[in-house]
Structure 1
Amino acid sequence: MGNVQKAVKFVTKLFPLWVILCAGIAYLAPEPFKPYGKSIPWLLGIVMLGMGLTMSLDDFRLVLKRPKDVIAGVLLRFIIMPGVAFLVSRVLGLSPSLAAGLILVGCCPSGTASNVMTFIAKGDTALSVTISSINTCLAPIVTPFIFLFLADTLIPVDATALLIDILKIVLAPIAIGVAINMTAGAAVRRIVTFVPLVSVVAIIAIITIVVALSAAKLATVAVIAFVAVVAHNTLGLSLGYGAARGIGMSHRKGKAVAFEIGMENSGLAVALAIAHLDPIAAIPGAIFSVWHNFSGSLLAGYWGGRDEEEPVIDTAACAETR
């Protein structure tokens, strides 16, 4: 099993490289990948199932123990990133499709990578896991509501269809994964090593398909989309930490909140953009998938190396690299 873990770690650690290689191939030769556009929701469903396999009801117990921290983190999550996305899109003068795509990224819940980055940064991992679990469960209601409020004038969207898709793509797979974990925990522990690898492969496939679908227009929007994503992510991490500290949270808690706000479930944004907007609107989410792992790793490494305090980890609430 040691060799398997090393192989999985090797593949997942080089995630940005695989994305760049596959995206480059899809850009130069998009036709073979275009027919797989309809598979994006299924691929994301696999990622969400993997997330569910590493979750249990213990992930939600912190709500009862530290409700103020959890509620504050969730509220900041759904206030800062959508608002920043809206402002960035206005300041940069993004096209309606790109602006809607960036706002959709901001309205989606935080990604599971935030838990890993918090752990590396020696932050409050238990708080990170609980916030991401709660905001993922709230996403079917909160994400469509905020998105329609901010982007309704940019591009037509069927709110009911958007909500149903989030339920199917996010909540259902996670619920199935949690149920499997609770009823067959021993079996899950034997395969959980492979979950990060499967998730990485699925996300790379999603990004590759998105690049292929938008290859014709990508050259004209890539630079401005990249600038928008970097600004969105950087402001999210900065404001997340600053806001947490501003309301009295400790440095360790602030690190957790920063990653919960600055790191998105951009795969969900991509799937929803393809299904309900257009391929160009999926570009911010595809770029975000790569960039936030890069920026998050840099910040986590800096904090982890600088801060001497050891993290207090609720092992029941955080399964290894969930």
Structure 2
Amino acid sequence: MNALIRFSTFIGNTFAVWVIIFAVLAFVVPGGFQWISPYINILLGIIMFGMGLTLKFKDFKQVITAPKEVITLVIAQYTIMPLIAVGLVFLFQLPAEIAIGVILVGCSPGGTSSNVMTYLAKGNMALSVTATAVSTLLAPIITPSLILLLASAWLPVSFSSMFVSIIQIVLLPIALGILVQYLLGNKVEKAIGILPLISVIGIIGVLSAVVSNNVENIISSGLLIFGVVILHNLLGYLVGFLLGRVLRFDLSDTKTVSIEVGMQNSGLAATLATTHFSPIAAVPGALFSVWHNISGSLVANWMSKMKQNSQDSKQENNMSEENLNNIKN
């Protein structure tokens, strides 16, 4: 078991590398990965169940103890990235299906990878975990509402269908994970060490399925989409960081806002695109999955070298490897 946990930790720590490797393989040998497509929803559900297993009721205490930071971050998550997405769609005059995909990424909740990047950046991990959890739990209402508001001009959008999908593949698995963790307690703690491995397999499965079914679309429009994805992600980091500064958050919280805003649950975006729109609409989410793990690692490394004030240093000292393992999924 210990060997498996060590292997799981290694895979989690080298996640970005595996994402790139399998994205390239799925592009070069699509036939080897297309069989995964019918299982995309199941894979994402497993990832969300793993997230639920790592959450405890005490993780939400930040909502009470630091409501300003949590509420600000969640609002920023659901306003900054959607507005940037719409702006990029108009700026580059993107075709309807690609436009939907970009907006889907912008309207998705925070990605769980952001928790790991926040740790590496020496940010406020408690705030990161809470904000990711809260934005994810709000996703069944907010994500389809935003899609209906912002994307219905391009293609028909069904709020009810997307609501049901997000309940099924996000909310129910998370709730089940929290319940299992609450009922089994210490028994679950022993298994949490292998969650990074399970999550990486799930995310790579979703990514590989989307890429393998969109090889022609990526060849014809991939460069444009990738450029938009990079801008979307980097502008999210930048605007998030500036927002933290404007609101006079300390450096630790400012880093967290930047990373949480910039990193999205792009796996969910790709899944919703495949289920409710078209295969090409899933390409922005797939490319975002590849890119934001690369950029997140680089940004986190840069942020970790920023000068810490006394309060940030105290928060940093309170972080532990155990915390990191508990939030990786």
Give the TM-score, by structure 1 length: 0.95
Partner amino acid for 2:34? Answer: K
Q: Does 1:290 align with 2:290?
A: yes
Q: Could you tell me how far 1:19 is from its partner in structure 2?
A: 2.6
Partner of 2:264: 264
1:312 Cα offset (Å): 5.7
Which residue matches 2:244?
244
Q: Which residue of 1 aligns with 2:226?
A: 226
Residues 120/17 of structure 1: CA separation in 2 closer, same or farther (3 Å cut): closer
CA offset digits 1:68-104 (Å, max 9, x no partner)? 1111111111110000011112112221111110110
- The offset of 1:200, in angstroms, is 0.4
Q: What residue is the counterpart of 1:57 in the other structure?
A: 57
Name the structure 2 match of 1:149: 149
Distance 1:147 1:174 in 2: 22
Aligned position for 2:26: 26
Tell me the secondary structure at the aligned position of residue 44 of structure 1: helix
Q: Name the CA shift for 1:2/1:34 in 2 (closer, same or farther; >3 Å).
A: closer
- Separation in 2 of the partners of 1:317 and 1:19? 24
Return the letter of the residue paired with 1:49: F
Q: Is the 8 A contact 1:126 1:314 kept in 2?
A: no
Aligned match of 1:189: 189
Q: Which residue of 2 aligns with 1:255?
A: 255
Aligned equivalents of 2:15, 2:228: Cα separation in 1: 22
CA gap of 1:5–1:211, structure 2 versus 1, over 3 A, is same
Give the drift of 1:318. Answer: 6.9
Shift of 1:25: 2.8
Give yes or no for contact 1:78–1:107 (8 Å, CA) kept in 2. Answer: yes
The root-mean-square deviation of aligned C-alpha atoms, in Å, is 1.8
Q: Given that residues 36 and 205 in structure 2 are in contact (C-alpha distance below 8 angstroms), is that contact kept between their aligned partners in structure 1? A: no
Match of 2:170 in 1: 170
| SS at 2:122 equivalent | coil
Residue of structure 1 in register with 2:212 after alignment: 212
Deviations 1:43-67 (A, max 9, x none): 0001000000000111111111111
The more displaced of 207-216 and 8-17 is: 8-17
Provide the rounded CA distance (Å) in 2 between the counterparts of 1:279 and 1:237: 28
Change (3 A) 1:313 1:265: farther
Amino acid at match of 1:228: V
Structure-2 separation of matches of 1:37 and 1:13: 26
Shift of 1:32: 4.2
SS of the residue 2:31 aligns to: coil
Pick aligned residue for 1:320 from 310, 314, 326: 326
1:213, distance to aligned residue in structure 2 (A): 1.2
Q: How many residues align?
A: 322
The Cα shift of 1:30 comes to 2.3
State the identity as a percent: 39
> What is the Cα deviation at residue 314 of structure 1?
7.1
- Which ranges in structure 2 are unaligned for 5 or more consecutive residues? none
**Would the aligned equivalents of 2:108 and 2:266 in 1 still touch at CA under 8 Å?**
yes
